[in-house]
């Protein structure tokens, strides 16, 4: 799973042009003419598009971290594998 980032919230006052309100009403229907609903819908759309990106970034970070761990494990085991191969050659050859 990925960890959610904690974000500090700040109150912001914005002026919305009438043209944008008309676009919102055409997309989401009537009743979005108050600023609170427009802000809510805009934040909802933003969140919907940002969440997959956060998951993707968390997965990429996890894969990079695991690749480093796997490389370390592989490096440690490689020495043991060479030692075992050498031991088998010695036992088979009788030396």
Residues written for the chain: 95
pLDDT of residue 63: 95
Please say whether the beta carbons of 38 and 32 come within 8 A: yes
Res. 90: pLDDT tops 60 = yes
* 54, 2 contact by CB (below 8 A): yes
Enter the tokens of residue 44.
């909802």
Q: For position 60, what pLDDT does the model report?
A: 93
Q: Are 38 and 24 in contact (CB under 8 A)?
A: yes
Q: Could you tell me which of 85, 89, 92 has the C-alpha nearest to residue 77?
A: 85
Q: pTM of the predicted model, to two decimals?
A: 0.38
pLDDT tens readout for residues 37-74: 767 777 777 777 777 778 888 899 999 999 999 999 99
């Amino acid at each position: 799973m990925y960890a959610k980032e904690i974000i500090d919230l700040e109150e912001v006052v914005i002026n919305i042009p009438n043209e944008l309100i008309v676009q919102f009403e055409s997309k989401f229907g009537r009743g979005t003419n108050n600023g609170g609903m427009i802000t809510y819908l805009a934040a909802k759309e933003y969140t919907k598009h940002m969440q997959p990106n956060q998951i993707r970034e968390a997965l990429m970070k996890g894969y990079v971290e695991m690749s480093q761990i796997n490389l370390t494990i592989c490096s440690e085991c490689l020495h043991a594998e060479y030692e075992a191969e050498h031991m088998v050659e010695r036992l088979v050859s009788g030396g």
